[in-house]
Amino acid sequence: MPVIEIKNLSFVYEREPVLENIDLTVEEKDFLAIIGPNGGGKSTLLKLILGINPLKKGSITVLGKAPKESLTKIGYVPQNTNVNTDFPIKVIEVVMMGHVDGKRPLFGYGKDEVLCAMGALKQVGMADFAQTKIGSLSGGQRQRVMIARALCAHPQILILDEPTSSIDMTGQRDIYELLKTLNAHMTIIVVSHDISVILEYANKATHVNKTLSYHDISDKKSTFHTHGNDGHFCEIELLQMLGAENCHTCEEAQPQWRLKP
């Protein structure tokens, strides 16, 4: 059974079509990269999968059910975790927000909840920071905390929206290495601009710009050159490959993609 199955999905926002006739199947333990230009509908697609945006046309099933019914099985790491950094809150408290509604003590947090949150923090290598105020962490550290929060509910699917947009190159690699480890146990979906880095880790890629084109890239990685000492792919080659696969949307979008110096 596929983990996520989207059929003939269209979404209109204020009479403007954002997504048209999307078909997408995500299998278990996939590492799917969703790429595409800003405003191309990537976040909208995520919000449909999460049931935040109402489904109007087409169908989405997550683990065989409607998105809203599978929410507890999805871990979500939202975009822009740099907002609200003045908020007086400790790392451990942020992580515990990830717990799904269940039995709760009258005051504060249950012992099992604390243990579970600490386990999630250990998984992302942030256990030492449990009592730190979230605002004093770096962007990369904060992103790890948000991943820990998503892991708290023991998800089968982990969805990340631009997880590395405000993190330096080394921090980005660390995050993706972490996702690679997590991928052994769960399906991972990442929306990103940094196509060269993400495609190194992903086994599938979809390009979303109103319509969707899909590439299985797991066997193509060896054909890429790597360059620079951080060893990421040559972006031009990548675009050529995607373009060669009869993907007109990529070519249209090409000028908007950020090229690395």
Binding site for other proteins (CB under 8 A): 50, 52, 71, 76, 78, 84, 86-90, 93-94, 96-101, 104, 106-109, 131-133, 149, 153
User: 139 or 243: whose CB is closer to other proteins?
Assistant: 139
Q: How many CB atoms lie within 10 A of CB 130?
A: 18
CB of 133 to other proteins, least distance (A): 4
Structure tokens, 34:
């969703």
Residue nearer to other proteins on the CB measure, 110 or 243:
110
Of the two residues 16 and 86, which places its CB atom closer to other proteins in the complex? Answer: 86
Report the distance separating Cα 40 and Cα 46, nearest Å. 12
Rounded to a whole number of angstroms, the minimum distance from the CB of residue 179 to other proteins is: 19
Nearest approach, Cβ of residue 251 and other proteins (Å): 34
Token pair of 128, please?
């030492």
Q: What angle do CA 213, 188, 140 make, to 5 degrees?
A: 110
- Please, what is the minimum distance in Å from the beta carbon of residue 211 to other proteins? 27
76/224 with CB nearer other proteins: 76
Q: Which is nearer to other proteins, 53 or 196 (CB)?
A: 53
Q: How far is the CB of 9 from other proteins (least distance, A)?
A: 20
Residue closer to other proteins by CB (options 57, 104) is 104
Instruction: Provide the 8-state DSSP code for 133.
Output: B
What number of residues does the chain have? 261
Q: How far is 123 from 182, CA to CA, in rounded Å?
A: 9
Sequence-distant (6+) residues with CB within 8 A of 252 are 209
CA dist 33 → 124, 128, 200, 207, 215 (Å):
21, 31, 10, 8, 10
**One-character DSSP codes across 61-115:** EETTB-GGGGGGGEEEE-S-TTTTTTS--BHHHHHHTTSPS----SSS--HHHHH
**Shortest distance, position 74 Cβ to other proteins, whole Å:** 8
Cα separation, 188 vs 156, in Å, equals 9
Closest distance between other proteins and the C-beta of residue 153, in Å?
Answer: 8
* CB closer to other proteins, 67 vs 140: 67
